[in-house]
Structure 1
Amino acid sequence: MTFRNVRRQAPALLLLLSAIAAASIGVPTPAMAHPHIFVDAEFEAVGGADGYLSALRHTWRFDEVFSSSVLLDFDKNENMTLEPPELEAVAKTVSASLSKYSYYTNITVDGKTVALGKPDAIKATYVDQALTLSFSLKPSQPTPLKGLLVFRVYDPTLYTALDFANDADLQTTGEGFARCKRKVVRPGSKEILAQNQAMLTSLFFSDPTGTDYSQLVATRLEVRC
């Protein structure tokens, strides 16, 4: 399990960014959101033999505290487990919520965002006191595997921390990726500050729509084809 590491690292880095930005322009540090739900995540991008992105597969295992709260809310017959009808209710509720945030999935091709469709279904299981969700997404439009593809999985509201403990938890599979090179990037505080100094000083407190802190710190999979 890696939940302890996420709790320690993610909020601290976000607060560091906020504090430096505030100091640089002389305004108070705003109240920051921080994760309340912790997830061990796995992600797989599938490339079809036709050279197009065919699927995006997610598996999320939630921390015990959140899983327990789900059990309390959805265990209607109070038998201390979640049976198939109850798990279906969990999946339906989660799907409605995640749809507002593109299922925490962000993909760009040469800097342009790829629109995604809804999953056919979200499968929920409850094993060893942990809730696990798995589902698959597809691009809304044909997406050729050309140029630089960047995959990020994160909650823009910072309420949920999705952790990829090992680089192998971010995968590319399928013939379409056979000629591509991949790397997992885990931004550190020095890299974030160096690459986003202008935004830190001008956008963090002047952009009325807010700044996507979570995207800056999210682990990403870069694939060049």
Structure 2
Amino acid sequence: MGDGALLGNSDQTRWVWRGRLLGLARLAFGAPLAAFAIAASSSDPVDAHPHVWASVHSDVVFGPDDTIKAIRHTWTFDEFYSAMALQGLDTNGDGTYTKEELEPLAEVNVTSLKDFDYFTFVSVGQDQVALNEPSDAWISEKDGIVTLHFTLVLPEPVSAKDHEVKIEVYDPSFFVAFGFAKEHPVKTVDAGAGCTIDIRIPGEDKDPDALTEAFFSQLGPSSNYGSQFAQTAIATCSS
């Protein structure tokens, strides 16, 4: 799914309804992303397909001896989520959004995302890797589009030497659709010469745009369906 598809959705009627629902959850700071996931888990199954889109850039930060010590995310959201999130945040009314004005929105997003594992799943083989709470969280705005920046540090660095470390960003409920950006989706930082990143995209049979409302109506809130559409970054370092 390219950046263009991630940053647009013509079904505005659906968003008016969602905006009213989120009036109870936006905490006066704008719409926290997790509120959408909460809405998905409590709504009818027919609403399980994506209503928020995010284009993902990630940096895989390496430490000594080909170990991975952090994941640094940049998530750029679609225009409708951005418009909702920005409501009321231009406190001085000058038509622009400063980092300070957007700070409460960044804080409420990263705090509320804790219960959703920050939509970030790192694994080595069958073992899931724990992640610390985010650091360096901030939000930027350009042309009405919101971008969330934050870093997830691993409690203990994991080795990518001669085996794969899998990194996925997805919403299990599939209410939020994440996809790696077309250009420079995942980069290595301070990696050794033998370290590489490989992006794996689900096959054509995993195209959500080809599925019908009837299909989504059969899904339950705990189906973990979003994992089936997850794009995967594989980090590995050769000896």
Q: TM-score range by the shorter chain?
A: 0.7 to 0.9
Tell me, what secondary structure is at the counterpart of 2:156? coil
Q: Call closer, same or farther: CA 1:76–1:191 in 2, change over 3 Å.
A: closer
Tell me, what secondary structure is at the counterpart of 1:100? helix
Give the deviation of 1:6 after TM superposition: 7.6
Match of 1:122 among 137, 150, 160: 137
Choose 1 or 2 for highest CA Rg. 1
Q: Provide the C-alpha distance between the structure 1 equivalents of 2:224 and 2:189, rounded to a whole number of angstroms.
A: 29
Aligned to 1:182: 197
Report whether the alignment pairs 1:55 with 2:70. Answer: yes
Give the deviation of 1:77 after TM superposition: 4.2
Give the deviation of 1:211 after TM superposition: 3.1
Match of 2:232 among 213, 220, 225: 220
Aligned to 1:4: 5
Q: Deviation per CA, 1:14-65: give whole Å up to 9, x if none.
A: xxxxxxxxxxxxxxxx635011111121011121233321221111111121
Q: Provide the C-alpha distance between the structure 2 equivalents of 1:210 and 1:189, rounded to a whole number of angstroms.
A: 24
Contact 2:169 2:178 in 1 (8 A): yes
Q: Call closer, same or farther: CA 1:182–1:127 in 2, change over 3 Å.
A: closer
Contact 2:66 2:195 in 1 (8 A): no
Contact 1:3 1:40 in 2 (8 A): no
Contact 2:6 2:54 in 1 (8 A): no
Q: Provide the C-alpha distance between the structure 1 equivalents of 2:70 and 2:221, rounded to a whole number of angstroms.
A: 31
Q: Deviation per CA, 1:53-110: give whole Å up to 9, x if none.
A: 1221111111121111112143344444323332111111111121111111111012
Give the structure-2-normalised TM-score: 0.69
Tell me, what secondary structure is at the counterpart of 2:108? helix
Tell me, what secondary structure is at the counterpart of 1:211? coil
Q: Deviation per CA, 1:117-147: give whole Å up to 9, x if none.
A: 0112311112211111111111122312232
Which one-letter code corresponds to 2:62 in the other structure?
Answer: G
Q: Provide the C-alpha distance between the structure 2 equivalents of 1:57 and 1:209, rounded to a whole number of angstroms.
A: 29
Contact 1:117 1:137 in 2 (8 A): yes
Aligned to 1:139: 154
Contact 2:56 2:179 in 1 (8 A): yes
Match of 2:89 among 70, 74, 82: 74
Aligned to 2:52: 37
Q: Between the two proteins, what is the percent identity of the paired residues?
A: 30
- Map 1:77-116; keep pairs closer than 5 Å: 77-116=92-131
CA RMSD of aligned residues (A): 2.7
Tell me, what secondary structure is at the counterpart of 1:35? coil
Tell me, what secondary structure is at the counterpart of 1:98? helix
